[in-house]
Amino acid sequence: MDVQKKMTVGGIYMTKRTVKDLDVAGKKVIVRCDFNVPRKDGVITDDNRIVMALPTIKYLVENKAKVILMSHLGKVKTEEDKAKNNLECVAVRLQELLPDVKVTFCPVTRGEELENAVNALADGEIVLMQNTRYEKGESKNDPELGAYWASLGEVFVEDAFGSVHRAHASTVGIPTNIKENGLGFLVEKEVTMLGKAVDEPAHPFVAIIGGSKVSSKIDVVDNLLKKADKVIIGGGMAYTFSKAVGGSIGTSLVEDDKLDLAKEYLEKAGDKLVLPVDNVIADAFSEDANTSVADAGQIPDGWMGLDIGPKSVELFRKTLAGAKTVVWNGPMGVFEMPKFAKGTEEVCKAISELPEAITVIGGGDSAAAAKQLGYADKFSHVSTGGGASLEYMEGKTLPGIAIISEK
């Protein structure tokens, strides 16, 4: 199948095989997981990604598969990086989460030690292979590496939503060689929820796009303008739009090379695009800065916008009223500083209070913000993959899912 094929409406992914369509009993099943967990001094600080992988792993164990888990961890360029990004800490945590299952860690990514560990597996046991990125060929999707890893198993399950937008040896190379493949429960849920929200939304459909740069979100804005009834723009990218129509933005973040593009969008989208009408401004990028509120386009010299203001919160709340589908990607301000988190928090609150709406957060910073502000469980779905959900919203093909066999 052509991995680059564009998605059709409804998502080409709803027809993909899932782990439940596969015969796994007594088979060696390779599962690509996303165990790219944050750590401090070698200790895992948030095990959410491991916990999210458990439904698929437990299903395979209960159905008597011999389970081979693979994942990357961090960026690996040097020998020093290898030591820093050793996956053993994940094996330890997995064993704690699955006390009745034998979990073995294999410290290498190829060779006799790995092959022996795989061949020693009994039904319902797990081996976790060392970090896939220890292999230089992983991120290049080296065909030899993909074929070698595939030779270790008989069935492949794709359950790393955070990595499916990358055509790597472990995400695309393995299923190229193993036709008995399917999506794990985590990826299936992501595809279902994002598909419902982006490809087959119930209307009114409101998209909220924040974050700092127009350049990184322009494809999302472009795709969602075709589908949504309203697209709300917040965060740092709003100042580029403001300057494009002649507004004064002080020392706010701006992409001068994107002013014409912003202008073009404003003309093209008309009242579909909803921009902030006021901003919380500061005289320095600091929690201790002096702050004030200024109307959009009237920020004095020496001051910068770091959040949306109270009138914008009200406008966005009104725009969201009655929405049946909401997709949110990117914060409204510098939410990491409590002084400038109010806009993001109020938008979180407004979305969470919508009755009967499908509400989806597209991973990354907005997921972190919702979590930090205590609203994560109030949404229909919080995506586990920042880059992957962003590319899904842009209408791009996700190679790690596209390669999976149809039902």
By annotation, the residues acting in catalysis are 49, 213, 364, 387
What residues does 281 pair with on adjacent strands? 292, 305
According to DSSP, the residues that pair with 69 across neighbouring strands are: 31, 128
First and final CA of the chain: distance in angstroms?
Answer: 14
| Total residues belonging to the chain | 407
CB 383 within 8 A of CB 370: no
Tell me how far CA of residue 259 lies from CA of 13, 224, 238, 270, 351, in angstroms: 36, 20, 11, 16, 30
Residue 49 Cα to chain centre, angstroms: 12
Phi, psi (degrees; rounded to nearest 5) at 239:
-70, -30
- Residue 203 burial (CB count, 10 A): 12
Instruction: List C-alpha distances in Å: 140 to 84, 160, 164, 275.
Output: 22, 18, 14, 40
Rounded to 5 degrees, what angle do the CA atoms 265, 367, 157 make?
Answer: 105
3-state helix, strand, coil in the chain (%, to 5): 40, 20, 40
Amino acid at residue number 368: A
Assign 357 to helix, strand or coil.
Answer: coil
208 residue type, one letter: I
Determine how many CB atoms are found less than 10 A away from the CB of residue 287: 12
Write out the H or E segment, with its range, that includes residue 181.
strand 181-183
DSSP H or E run through 319: helix 310-320
Cβ contact 72:81 at 8 Å:
no
Cα 275 → chain centroid: 25
